[in-house]
C-alpha cells in the first residue's frame, strides 16, 4: 500500500475543505463536495442519511458490515492561523481537524475503490455532520436505525495533545460524558450605595461558584475524573456601576466518566442552588445532557491495537481518557466501536483544538489513511462476544 499515490489528492481535498468551512448542521456545500468526489469512484454507492451527511458503500451485502467514520463540520471561529489556505468563510474555521479526517477518509476510500478485490467485507465510509454542536449529528444518524446491523465502526481524531509518532488506542473510556448547565440567580437590585436594601445576586453567585468546586475536591472519587468548570458569568452593565443588578447568568460544563458521577454533579449543583433559596434568592437551572462517554469495545480495540503494532511499530500508546466530549459515542452506544487518537503535536503545530491559530500537521494524514484501510482490510478477524 503506497500513500504517495494518494497523497496529492488527500492534501488537495483537505485544503479545499479548510478554505470552505461550514458549521454544524449547515454543511450543505461540504457534503455536496464530498459526494462529487465519491461519484467518481466506480465501486461506490452513495446514500444520504440526513440533509448534510452521507455514507459511501463498497462491496454492498458482502461479509461483515464495517463503518469508517469522519466528521465534516467546522467551528464558528475567525481563523488566525498563518497558512496559505486560510478560511474564506468569515467567522468559520476548521479548528479541530475535521477537514483532515474527511480528506483522509476520502483518500482511503479511493484506495478501497481501486483495490476492491482485496476487501472481503462491506465497507461503509461515514461522513458525519455536526459533531461540534449538541445533540450532535451522530445521534441524528444513529436514530434512523441505519447502523443497527453494522459489525463494528472505527474512527480516529488527529490530536495535538498527543505527540506526533504516537497512536493512542484506549480500552473502555475514550472520552468523557460532556454536559452543560445554564443558571439564572435572581436577587433584588437597587442602588449601589444602599446594599442593605437589596439582595445582591453577584455575592450569591460567587459563593455558589466557590462552593461547587468542592464537588470535585470533597465529593467525587479522586480515582475517577470529574471536571466542573464555570465558564460564563454575566452581571450588570458597563456604565451602570452604581446599580446592583437583579440577576446573574452563569454557565459551565461538566465532564465525567461514570454515570454515577454524572448524576452526583447534577444533584450537588441543585443542592447548592437550593441553599441560596434559604437566603432569599431564587434561581432557574437548565442542565443539558450532552455527549456520552465514548466506550471502546474490547474486541474491536484489540484488533485496532494489533494494526498499530504491525504497521506502526513502537507507536502504540494508551493514555488517560480525553475529558472532552465526542459524539462518536452515539455510534459506540449502538454498535461495537473503537475510537483512536493519532498524535499530531509537533513544533509549530501545538495550538490546542478550537484555538483560532490551530494548525494541523499534514504529515499525519499518512497514518490516518493507512489506519482506515487496514481496519477495513482485515475486519473479518474481529470476533465479537
Residues belonging to the binding site are 96, 98, 132, 157, 354
- Measuring CA to CA, which residue among 141, 148, 171 is closest to residue 72? 141
Q: Give the C-alpha separation, 280 to 301, whole Å.
A: 53
CB 187, CB 201: distance < 8 Å: yes
Please name which of 233, 175, 179 lies closest in space to residue 208, comparing C-alpha atoms: 233
List strands edge to edge, sheet with 177-186.
226-235, 247-256, 177-186, 282-291
The cell numbers describing 170, all together, are 484506549
Peptide bond before residue 4 is cis, with ω within 30 degrees of 0:
no
Strand partners, 66: 123, 152
Asked if the bond preceding 174 is cis, omega within 30° of 0, the reply is no
List residues forming the annotated binding site for Mn(2+). Answer: 96, 98, 132, 157, 354
User: Which residues have CB under 8 Å from 94's CB, separation 6+?
Assistant: 17, 18, 21, 74, 75, 87, 100
Amino acid at each position: 500500500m503506497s500513500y504517495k499515490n494518494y497523497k496529492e489528492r488527500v492534501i488537495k481535498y483537505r485544503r479545499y475543505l479548510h478554505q470552505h468551512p461550514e458549521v454544524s448542521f449547515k454543511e450543505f456545500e461540504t457534503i455536496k463536495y464530498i459526494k462529487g468526489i465519491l461519484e467518481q469512484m466506480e465501486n461506490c454507492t452513495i446514500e444520504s442519511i440526513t440533509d448534510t451527511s452521507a455514507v459511501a458503500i463498497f462491496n454492498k451485502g458482502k461479509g461483515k458490515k464495517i463503518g469508517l467514520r469522519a466528521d465534516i463540520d467546522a467551528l464558528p471561529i475567525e481563523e488566525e492561523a498563518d497558512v496559505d489556505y486560510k478560511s474564506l468563510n468569515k467567522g468559520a474555521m476548521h479548528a479541530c481537524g475535521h477537514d483532515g479526517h474527511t480528506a483522509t477518509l476520502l483518500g482511503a476510500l479511493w484506495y478501497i475503490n481501486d483495490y476492491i478485490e482485496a476487501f472481503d467485507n462491506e465497507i461503509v465510509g461515514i461522513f458525519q455532520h455536526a459533531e461540534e454542536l449538541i445533540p450532535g449529528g451522530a445521534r441524528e444518524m444513529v436514530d434512523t436505525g441505519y447502523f443497527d446491523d453494522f459489525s463494528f465502526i472505527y474512527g480516529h481524531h488527529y490530536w495535538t495533545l498527543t505527540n506526533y509518532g504516537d497512536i493512542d488506542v484506549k480500552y473502555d473510556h475514550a472520552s468523557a460524558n460532556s454536559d452543560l448547565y445554564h443558571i439564572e440567580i435572581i436577587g433584588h437590585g437597587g442602588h449601589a450605595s444602599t446594599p442593605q436594601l437589596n439582595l445582591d445576586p453577584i455575592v450569591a453567585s460567587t459563593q455558589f461558584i466557590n462552593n461547587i468546586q468542592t464537588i470535585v475536591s470533597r465529593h467525587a472519587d479522586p480515582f475517577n475524573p470529574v471536571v466542573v468548570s464555570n465558564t460564563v458569568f454575566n452581571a450588570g452593565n458597563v456604565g451602570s456601576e452604581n446599580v446592583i443588578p437583579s440577576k446573574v447568568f452563569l454557565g459551565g460544563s461538566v465532564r465525567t466518566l461514570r454515570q454515577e458521577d454524572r448524576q452526583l454533579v447534577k444533584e450537588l449543583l441543585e443542592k447548592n442552588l437550593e441553599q441560596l433559596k434559604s437566603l432569599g434568592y431564587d434561581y432557574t437551572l437548565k442542565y443539558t445532557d450532552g455527549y456520552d462517554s465514548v466506550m471502546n469495545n474490547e474486541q474491536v480495540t484489540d484488533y485496532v491495537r494489533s494494526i498499530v503494532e504491525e504497521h506502526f511499530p513502537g507507536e502504540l500508546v494508551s493514555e488517560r481518557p480525553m475529558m472532552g466530549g465526542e459524539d462518536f459515542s452515539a455510534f459506540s452506544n449502538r454498535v461495537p466501536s473503537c475510537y483512536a487518537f493519532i498524535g499530531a503535536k509537533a513544533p509549530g503545530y501545538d495550538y490546542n483544538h478550537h484555538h483560532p491559530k490551530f494548525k494541523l500537521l499534514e504529515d499525519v494524514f499518512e497514518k490516518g489513511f493507512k489506519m482506515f484501510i487496514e481496519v477495513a482490510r482485515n475486519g473479518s478477524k474481529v470476533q465479537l462476544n
